[in-house]
Amino acid sequence: MAAYDEIADWYEEEFLRAQPVNPGAEALRGLLGEGSGVCLELGCGTGVHAGLVRELGWTPVGVDLSGGMLRHARARLPIARADAARLPIRDSSVAAVVAVLVHTDMPAYFAVLREVARVLRPDGVFVHVGVHPCFCGGFADRGDPAAVVVRPGYLDGHWTKESWTDQGIRDKVGATHWPLPELLNGFLDAGLTLDRFAEAGTPLPIVLAARAHAR
């Protein structure tokens, strides 16, 4: 993904280091839990979650479209350059799949969810940790640390580079947005069963996370 190639060094050296707590990691820990076997991370980026996945007992493996991001990930986990919407992986072969802070970067996320349902073992687990569709987006102004201002736009379901900050990702590469029901229906339509949910971030959640399994 060319847009991420251009910002990969900024993502690794500035963006991630500016976050004292990674809200995605907190939700991932809670919903993935301990386990064993391969845990495939879709859109692994620079591989920042590999250590946590390993700590929980899993064997992390990452795929991403961006060679620039994967250059940083290589030292953290085994990786492959691949499109999450067309995984080069056998049916029913993976124990766990995780997708952390990527759905807004994947306009074809519903195809990605269908791929998750295809590659997961019958006893496998999928954890989605995504930018919160209600409290983040072009319509949400998080500039005041004490309040989030939500303006009309939530219902539009659109791709945008509009952002309250120039220190984030959306203003650089853009982001897709789906209202909450559309996003959750995408899981069901893909053949996934939702098991648990979590939120993380202040003063209002920054991430909405879900654990699911293949039906």
Ligand X SMILES: C[S@@+](CC[C@H](N)C(=O)[O-])C[C@H]1O[C@@H](n2cnc3c(N)ncnc32)[C@H](O)[C@@H]1O
Indicate the burial class of 121 (C-beta count within 10 angstroms; 0-12, 13-18, 19 or more): middle
Q: Could you tell me the CA-to-CA distances from 23 to 10, 156, 183, 208 in Å, in that order?
A: 19, 26, 20, 10
136-175 residues near ligand X, rule: CB under 6 A: 169
Contact between 66 and ligand X by CB under 6 A: the answer reads yes
2-31 residues near ligand X, rule: CB under 6 A: 4, 24
Rounded Cα gap, residues 63 and 70, in angstroms: 8
Contact between 178 and ligand X by CB under 6 A: the answer reads no
CB of 74 to ligand X, least distance (A): 13
Contact between 69 and ligand X by CB under 6 A: the answer reads yes
Contact between 201 and ligand X by CB under 6 A: the answer reads no
* Closest CB to ligand X among residues 46, 164: 46
Contact between 65 and ligand X by CB under 6 A: the answer reads yes
Provide the pairing of β-strand 94-100 with 79-81: unpaired
Percent helix, strand and coil across the chain, each to the nearest 5? 30, 25, 45
Contact between 102 and ligand X by CB under 6 A: the answer reads yes
Provide the pairing of β-strand 192-200 with 207-214: antiparallel
Site string for ligand X, 38-57 (x = CB under 6 A): -----xxx--xx--------
User: What is the amino acid identity at position 110?
Assistant: F
CB of 121 to ligand X, least distance (A): 21
Contact between 111 and ligand X by CB under 6 A: the answer reads no
Q: Could you tell me the CA-to-CA distances from 178 to 42, 107, 132, 152 in Å, in that order?
A: 19, 10, 10, 14
- What's the token pair of residue 85? 């919407």
| Candidate residues 12, 26, 83, 115; the one interacting with ligand X per rule CB under 6 A | 83
Rounded Cα gap, residues 8 and 45, in angstroms: 8
Contact between 60 and ligand X by CB under 6 A: the answer reads no
Stretch that binds ligand X, among 78-86, 88-96, 183-191, 195-203 (CB under 6 A): 78-86
Task: List residues near ligand X by CB under 6 A.
Answer: 1, 4, 24, 43-45, 48-49, 63-66, 69, 83-85, 100-102, 105-106, 169
